[in-house]
Amino acid sequence: MSTTPVRELDPKKRVENFEEVCLGYDSEEAVKEASRCLQCKNPTCIEGCPAKVDIPSFIKSMQEKKFGEALAKIKETNNLPGVCGRVCPQESQCEQSCILHKAGKAVAIGKLERFAADNGGKSAVPKIKKLKKKVAVVGSGPASLSCAADLALKGYCITIFEALHKVGGVLRYGIPEFRLPRNVLDDEIDFIKKLGVKIDTDTVIGKTIELSQLSADFDAVFLGTGAGSPNFMDIPGEDLNNVYSANEFLTRINLMRAHEFPEYRTPVKQGSRVVVVGGGNVAVDSARTAKRLGAHVTIVYRRSFDEMPARIEEIKHAQEEGVELLMLTNPIRVLGSGKVEGVECVQMRLGEEDETGRKSPIPMPDTEFTIPCDQFIVAIGTSPNPIIAKTGGIMVGGWNRIVVNENLQTSKDNIFAGGDAISGSATVIKAIGDGKKAAEKIDEFLKGKLG
């Protein structure tokens, strides 16, 4: 028994636009796929989900064509099902834990979650008994949205403070529309607003308002500020024109609509030959975006294909769209006079496993070669921005990650943190799980039950 295939846009057509690539299931396909679920007595798939969604129950509802009930079941533990159904790495989480994963192919849990979100109708806003205590949530990415929604459902008065002019954090500025359409994100944010969550945009905590002041004005604070500070390679030539961090490149396009210049007044270099360094989802997103801007695109990655952390589905889509993948290759110098003209690389081999559990890439002598290009995009990871922690006087560790205890509590008792701000770049569903846990611990703290 195999997974029900999912319809997708033709690669030759989709590289000409930013429309969503995956078209999802229709109702017949969704019920057919849901029928593959064995309804295990010991559902290991739930353990594989950081948000602990009751997967068998929502799939059971789908088997019975009760799509509204399926969505309601998901929303008991995850307020962003349309987002998660599209961008979460289910293949390495809930689907990997599915019993059918060992026997052949796992149930397409992510695709079913997406269908429920898209076809389950409008979620009813529950009646909430309001409490007097106030909680500030800093940032509006997945950890913050999850925390804010859960706390609002508990009755707390929630205000989200967002530095940018639009809400969504990395979901909006980091993930391209061909993976996550903005109407899907906006619908899920609108529902959170209907829970009574107030949102203040254009507010930079640490600049507009000091964290210490926020901590004094609110009964508790949650920091879900993500990891938006780009890492660079520290190689010669990175200061040349047309070298972009993936953060800047994707933000200009995803948030500022640079690909529609001059209608939108944020330009971006549209290269003819682009090299992207990195092997994660951000590198693949950058490459596929550059391809849609008309470039010949090459991803260079210092390990092998098997070590690439990007989702297999996204790598497959990139290859279908004509993105070239050059493995065991690492840039050592950006070439050019004033602006990028090429990238000098060296070939690598894999040695022993390092602390990450992956084999260490080792440069091979006398293997240098040059890739001609007019744009170089660095996508090798990000770190949390240090501004908030430093101005708030809370403890930070390596890579500017906020230090928390087992309750996601920082060195200041009423300030909590979660998501990429404490771990560095991770998954959307991991951030959602942190937001949920933080909401529980903040609730305990405000009721005097924590520690």
In order of start, what are the domains of the chain with their CATH numbers?
A: 7-119 (1.10.1060.10), 134-228+383-446 (3.50.50.60), 232-380 (3.50.50.60)
Which residue carries 């969550």 as its tokens?
197
CA–CA dist 65, 322 (Å, integer): 39
pLDDT at position 354 is 83
Q: Dihedral, CA atoms, 189, 409, 93, 145, nearest 10 degrees? A: 0
Query: Does position 93 have pLDDT exceeding 90, yes or no?
Result: yes
451 falls in which pLDDT band (50, 70, 90)?
A: low
Overall average pLDDT of the 219-230 stretch: 96
Is residue 401 scored above 70 in pLDDT?
yes
Q: Are 405 and 388 in contact (CB under 8 A)?
A: no
Check residue 448 and give left, alpha or beta (phi > 0: left; psi -120 to 50: alpha).
left
Query: pLDDT digit string (tens) for 30-54?
Result: 999 999 999 999 999 999 999 999 9
pLDDT over 70, % of the chain: 99
In terms of Cβ atoms closer than 10 Å to its own Cβ (0-12, 13-18, 19+), residue 10 is exposed
- Helices (H) and strands (E) in the chain — how many of each? 19, 18
Contacts of 346 (CB under 8 A, 6+ apart): 329, 330, 332, 363, 364, 367, 368, 369
Phi/psi for 244 (5° steps) reads -120, 145
**Going along 202-283, which residue ranges are E strands?**
220-223, 229-230, 243-245, 273-277
Straight-line distance from the first to the last Cα atom of the chain, in angstroms, rounded to the nearest whole number? 49
